[in-house]
Amino acid sequence: MRDWLRPVLASAALLILLVLGAMILFLTYKSVPVLSREGLSFILDSGWIASEGGEEYYGIAAALLGTLYTSAIAVALALPVSVSLSVFVVEMAPRKIRTVLEGAILMMALLPTVLYGLWGLTYLGPFLLRYVMCPLHGSLGWFPLFSEEPKTGNTILTAGVLLAIMITPYMTAIIKDAYSSIPREYREGLYALGTTRAEAILVLLRMVKSSIAVAVVLGLGRAAGETVAVSMVVGNTMGISISPFRPGYTISSLIANQFGNAFLYRLMPSALYGSALILMGISTAIAVLGLWLARRWSIKWRI
């Protein structure tokens, strides 16, 4: 056998698979106690009752909803921005500015997350409290979403906006790649038909709507898993409400806050591994959906 290379390479590949497998197995195994004891109410009920010796009860509904809520806000805000950014970079920006913008987008994608957190805590939270939440509550207080009196900058909304900023480069990368790979002839053909630039862009955007869908799905997955930046601004309290002006929890910030003291309690480690399993389940389901869509529509992109 001259080909010694294959076993070496294969063992590296196998090792990665092994780690991934171990991760999934461990999480599942560790979540069994809480899931078998509480069943579905683990995710449908809210409460974080820790007690040494006494009854423990963990329900992560509030955190789960917080994750979904912040991710939804993030995607809703990031979508128009990343579509515009893609169009602007490909279609409108002069060459020089385009290079700068592309650099800035890549930089946003890779910037250490803790810097986002520090910035969110220092600038974004207070800014949103003063210039968004208070005015909205003041003028549209009758509307259920804004009826809560804003009291702090550490809220679901702040986490959502910060996440939107963090996933924008990621979504932009996907949309931009698709948009810029539309053949020239289409564009020229459209102008030849006498369309305005806006009309042409709208038609072209319709051609990449599958990529936009993939971007939404994968952006959602990204937002759901982000931990450090979110736990710095989300407020870290358990409560269910439709008001985005309230402090809340996300699953990842719940883990960041509680894992350090979990092993004091009998059931809490299991509850946190269970939360992690569910978080991973969400991300995975979203990723699988996104990748499946991407494959179906043969969309390619690079981070």
Rounded-to-integer distance, Cα 247 and Cα 228, Å: 16
Count the site residues for another protein by CB under 8 A. Answer: 118
Residues 6+ apart with CB under 8 A from 106: 169
58 is a site residue for another protein (CB under 8 A) = no
Footprint on residues 147-186 left by another protein (CB under 8 A): 148-149, 151-154, 165, 168, 172
CB atoms within 10 A of CB 302: 6
Footprint on residues 214-243 left by another protein (CB under 8 A): 221, 224-228, 232, 235-241, 243
| Token pair of 207 as six digits | 């051609």
120 residue type, one letter: G
37/148 with CB nearer another protein: 148
Got the DSSP string for 255-299?
HHHHGGGGGGSSSHHHHHHHHHHHHHHHHHHHHHHHHHHHHHTT-
Footprint on residues 64-83 left by another protein (CB under 8 A): 80-83
CB of 146 to another protein, least distance (A): 13
205-235 exposure pattern, b = at least 16 Cβ within 10 A, e = fewer: beebeebbbbbbbbbbbbbbbbbbbbbbbbb
210 is a site residue for another protein (CB under 8 A) = no
131/263 with CB nearer another protein: 263
134 is a site residue for another protein (CB under 8 A) = no
Question: Could you tell me which stretch among 13-21, 36-44, 131-139, 183-191 binds another protein (CB under 8 A)?
Answer: 13-21
**Site track for another protein across 267-286, x = CB under 8 A:** -----xx--x--xx--xx-x
Place of tokens 């990842």: 252
Nearest alpha-carbon partner for 172 in 206, 120, 212? 212
212 is a site residue for another protein (CB under 8 A) = no
- Cβ atoms of 229 and 120 within 8 Å: the answer is yes
Q: What is the SS3 assignment for 114?
A: helix
72/102 with CB nearer another protein: 102
CB of 103 to another protein, least distance (A): 6
92 is a site residue for another protein (CB under 8 A) = yes
Position among 144, 206, 260, 298 found at the interface with another protein (CB under 8 A): 260
